[in-house]
Structure 1
């Protein structure tokens, strides 16, 4: 049994000041003057992100939409589920999930179920990836961005997608989390 410990809202930390060091359309780097739980102070640099979404889209035959593309920051081709950032124009994470699935794969879905969210790099960023399970799929045309020109869409049996996770060939945190939650919840 997991026991939740009561703690102060900020876990004993406090922020005295916060300064933007760098801002881009995708994230912001901030330097906070922080006081640790032991009372000592120090600067705390971190990345502020709008978050992202990942979608497990499963068709009537149990096939999962999986992408494969070059991931610039990891310098390799990776298997992933359809995923992307939450844009300022998105109403919420579900709206972002609907948009990303359609943009990357051309797929729209009738039924959506939230799978939860995973923190992607604690102590470095507040980045959180919101995962969704989608069914009742309809296929259309993808609308790829210039950086996605090499994106390939594959339809894999769910167990093959799960094997990509368990063998380390799908290292994207949001994708791994979404696939494992789908199996854990008995959705596929």
Structure 2
């Protein structure tokens, strides 16, 4: 097995040939697609996956090193999960920073002055094309105006601020499961040892997985 230089690792765009494609299910925000894909040995295999518009999430960190979290019921997993504010990129080409600001306002009635890209991930690349950009938001304050009116699952939401170290312990203990929360708090902890938070990418950094308008 060849040894790789970790500093040279980079995911590479690649497109295997698709001989046929159909969409057996279309929902309000996502759909399911079946592609017939040519494998390296020349055979053709069916690949089913969720087609997703993409998402943003916000790890909002206050001056006391606490993270703003919300608790929300998630029906597919039959759990009420602790999460960080997040939402879909509802408009094709939508600027992810604008969407992140919106989600932080709508879910927590909070605004932030300092924004960075914390990490970009594919949530489940074997079964979905969903891409998520997780932002780090600092210099927090209450948003102006009236609170956003919530409904459905969001009407039962709880909002809290929890020390970062407590969230890291909860993730490693198996008590917290939301992928954006777990990825975000572990990435933030790692970033502090890899150049510091000010070395993170700027908030408008390119995002090839979901190109956006400036």
- How does the TM-score come out when normalised to structure 1? 0.89
Deviations 1:58-93 (A, max 9, x none): 112222101112111110111111112111177222
- Deviation of 1:142 after TM superposition, in Å, equals 4.4
1:136-155 to structure 2, matched below 5 A, reads 136-140=139-143, 141-155=147-161
The count of corresponding residues between Structure 1 and Structure 2 is 185
Q: Is 2:45 the partner of 1:42?
A: yes
**Contact 2:73 2:153 (C-alpha < 8 Å) held by counterparts:** no
2:65 to 62, 68, 74: 62
Partner of 1:78: 81
Query: For the residues of structure 2 that align with 1:137 and 1:121, how far apart are their CA atoms?
Result: 31
After TM superposition, give the deviation of residue 152 of structure 1 in Å: 0.3
Structure 1 runs of 4+ off > 3 angstroms? 3-8
Structure 2: distance between partners of 1:6 and 1:66: 30
Quick one: structure 1 residues 147 and 42, their matched pair in 2 at CA, closer, same or farther if it must change by over 3 Å?
same
State the Cα RMSD in Å: 2.1
CA contact 2:35–2:46 (8 Å) conserved in 1: yes
Call closer, same or farther: CA 1:8–1:53 in 2, change over 3 Å: closer
Distance 2:152 2:109 in 1: 16
Name the CA distance, whole Å, in 1 between partners of 2:133 and 2:46: 29
Structure number with the higher strand fraction is 1
SS in 1 for 2:134: strand
Is residue 9 from structure 1 mapped to residue 17 from structure 2 by the alignment?
no
Structure 1: gaps of 5 or more residues: none
